[in-house]
Amino acid sequence: MKGIAVDASVALAWCFRHSPNFSAYLRSGFFPFPARIRPTELHLGVRAFDDSIRALLGERKSWYLSYLDSDTV
């Protein structure tokens, strides 16, 4: 089957519940990974150099993350 990982144990994707593609992941068979079995806890840190965007950066719903944004995979 072209493009399908036939022997994969698991396929992971980062997606906040508020992300626009969350429902697409659910329809494709992904499901939220329970915190109690996650192998690691990831943290994101930011710093606002412009006070006018400080509140925006502190709001989780303002963020969109993907595996492409990670260097830990």
Where are the chain's structural domains?
A: 1-73
Beta carbons within 10 angstroms of residue 65's beta carbon: 13
pLDDT band, residue 73 (cuts 50/70/90): very low
Which residues, other chains included, contact 48 with Cβ-Cβ below 8 Å and sequence gap of 6+? Answer: 54, 57
45: amino acid identity, one letter: G
**For 2-47, how does the pLDDT look when each residue is reduced to its tens digit (9 = 90+)?**
556 567 677 777 788 888 889 998 998 888 888 888 777 777 788 8
Instruction: Tell me the whole-structure pTM to 2 decimals.
Output: 0.57
Least-confidence region, from 50-54, 59-63, 65-69: 65-69
